[in-house]
Chain A
Amino acid sequence: MNGEKTTGGLGRRRFLTGSAKLAATGLLAGGAVTASGIVRAEGIPKELPDHSRYLGPGVTDEPYGVPSQYEAHVIRRNVEWLTASAESSVNFTPLQDLHGIITPNGVFFERHHSGRADIDPKTHRLVIHGLVDREVSFTMEDLLRFRPVDRIFFTECAANGGMEWRGAQLNGVQFTRGMLGCAQWTGIPLKTLFDHVGLKPKAKWLLAEGGDASALTRSIPMEKALDDCMVAFAQNGEMLRPGQGYPIRLVVPGWEGNMWVKWLRRLEVGDQPWYTRWETSKYTDLMPSGKAYKFTWVQEANSVITSPSPEKPLNGAGPYIIRGLAWSGHGKVKRVDVSTDGGKNWVTAPLEEPVISKALVRFYLPWRWDGKSSALLQSRVIDETGYVQPTIAQLREARGVHSIYHNNSIMTWLVNPTGEVENVQVA
């Protein structure tokens, strides 16, 4: 995303208030509020529902399944004023409605630079050339003859959270942390492909190029390419979706999503970086001094509470589970702490297995709300390198407010006495 513009556009939002929203989704239908404030639903419906009496559709009804009609609100959303056109823009994963660590393919965020290419795999070629012993073109059939690997990694846009540098701006976990997804990727390690074509001694950099109309290109150091990068053709058990680079994309674990070049058509091996538009004009981080950081590849440790959140208000007093995600581009998540008082006091939240390096990790922390007090919910991740997720104040002190990318600061959700939750920043 461009992300430069941080104001403007749409008029005042009419976000449904907590209780109105719950009523609208039918959760309060036939319910009652007890003396302790816990909302109780009606015990057993009086009528036998239709689905218990009549036949449902048969097995021929849905050759490729879609979620229940009651989950129709679980969709990618975008922020229209962010970019000049929908073809060069981004949409956001609905983190607030997802579970576990795997992002379903249908709601995995997309960032396109010239729209979504739709490529016939029969005519697609992957060209490898430059400082290699043999310049070669692979068909999809060629690629499928190599031994693949299956690896679970998150991918995150460098601009995730980019609208929050100056202050709390977008009221939702989807819009503030949703340029994020995690999948099991199946593909061929770059090391396998480079062993096959042979690298020349001066091979130090790799240029990856997409086959869409932006022909997006990024320079990647060969050390990283040979370490854990792969050419993926499948995501979560099925061939990549067009929006994720079908038929092949690069997987660059722990590094910014822009480098995971989609619709991959060319890998050139060289001895120095290319300084493409996407590693100079964009995806460099401007500091208050006027100097900019370049080659800001790693997505540093980050975490967020997905529920409660602005999209997931509270419904009366009682027990809740604080649900959240943590991740680190440097490796494994070691620990997640949660605060309910804006960072005065913290408790460590248990991590749910599996805890996979450079993948999303899930945490669940039981919490009890009295139904009347305000709370300030925060999560803070510490990764295996000892890196501690910073506050927005720490990040601003180090980098000012114009760097756009890599805002991995602690998010704060204000729980209001009504049960409504909103995105705020605290000092």
Chain B
Amino acid sequence: MSRSLKLLPLALAVLALPALADPNLPKKGELGTTLKPEEVARWDIDVRPDGQGLPPGKGTAREGEQVWMEQCASCHGEFGEGVDRWPVLMGGKGSLATDAPVKTPGSYWPYASTVWDYIYRAMPFGNAQSLTHDQVYALTAYILNMDDVIPADFVLDAKTLPTVKMPNADGFVVDPRPEMKAADPCMKNCKAEVTITGHARKIGVTPEEQAPMQ
């Protein structure tokens, strides 16, 4: 067998391999600092609907009331009714299919875990991650109690929170878009009449134009 024929299988094998990575690129695992589980735990604050991520601690709506009045009521209102444009957290049940839907945890949010997760990571607005785990459990219980999801003495903790069934848990469907069938768009004489149904200018809510700086 000639030398070139002997080399043929090798050449074919090389061709069959995926393009070899540049050996000067970072090798797997070469960069970054490997973290210990306790280091990850300090940053890992998220909570899933099945309860994964919930820390130890507990609270009831009764215990939440004082924290609510001190930390939350100035924006969300004493009864969760919302001050000015700040979010309403109470009521709205049965409103989603009406002309004035009100989206609260009780009327709209599918999972109780989201309430815990969001309060802990971002509330109070401007002082994030300042509440203790017990306070967050108590506030979550307070909001869910305002919305008649759980009774005032219901003890919320890592075990019980995932068992709370939210009223609108089944209210969501996965994005079905595009709902409209693609049709060849009309180019000529597409409609007989065009009627103007509204002018933004007449609504009068556009911010006023400032004179150009010249």
Rank and list the top 9 A-B pairs by shortest CB-CB distance, nearest first: A290-B97, A342-B194, A84-B85, A290-B96, A136-B32, A167-B198, A423-B200, A171-B200, A277-B118
> Which residues from B are CB-within-8-Å of A10?
204-208
Once A10-B208, A168-B203, A292-B171 are accepted as A-B contacts, the answer to whether A280 and B109 lie under 8 Å apart by CB is yes
> What are 16 sample pairs from A and B whose C-beta atoms fall under 8 A apart?
A87-B125, A129-B40, A146-B26, A168-B198, A169-B206, A196-B31, A213-B128, A274-B47, A275-B110, A276-B117, A291-B96, A291-B172, A343-B191, A345-B187, A346-B186, A427-B197
Is the CB–CB distance between A7 and B205 below 8 Å?
yes
What is the 8 Å Cβ interface bit string for chain A, positions 228-266, against chain B (1 contact, 0 not)?
Answer: 000000000000000000000000000000000000011
Instruction: Using A5-B85, A13-B201, A292-B171 as known contacts, list a sample of 13 further A-B pairs with CB atoms less than 8 Å apart, ordered by residue number in A.
Output: A10-B207, A72-B214, A114-B128, A129-B35, A138-B33, A171-B201, A274-B46, A294-B175, A346-B185, A386-B182, A390-B180, A398-B179, A424-B196
Once A146-B26, A426-B197 are accepted as A-B contacts, the answer to whether A398 and B31 lie under 8 Å apart by CB is no
> Which residues from A are CB-within-8-Å of B196?
376, 414, 424-426
> Which residues from B are CB-within-8-Å of A373?
none
* B55, CB-defined interface residue at 8 Å: no
Q: On chain B, which size bracket covers the interface?
A: 35 or more
A-B contact count (CB 8 A): 288
Is the CB–CB distance between A13 and B185 below 8 Å?
no
Q: Determine which residue in B47, B110, B197, B201 has the highest number of CB atoms from chain A within 10 A of its CB, and name it.
A: B201
CA distance A398 to B113 in the complex (A): 31
Once A72-B213, A213-B122, A293-B176 are accepted as A-B contacts, the answer to whether A13 and B190 lie under 8 Å apart by CB is no
What is the 8 Å Cβ interface bit string for chain A, positions 300-318, against chain B (1 contact, 0 not)?
Answer: 1000000000100000000
CA distance A11 to B37 in the complex (A): 56
Residues on B lying within 8 angstroms of A by beta carbon are 25-26, 28-35, 37, 39-40, 43-50, 75, 84-87, 96-97, 101, 103, 105, 108-111, 113-114, 117-118, 121-122, 125-126, 128-129, 171-180, 182-183, 185-191, 194-201, 203-209, 211-214
Residues 132-164 of A at the B interface (beta carbon under 8 Å):
134-139, 142, 145-147
* A34, CB-defined interface residue at 8 Å: no
CA distance A291 to B203 in the complex (A): 30
- In the complex, what residue of chain A is closest to B45 when comparing beta carbons? A215
CA distance A137 to B174 in the complex (A): 34
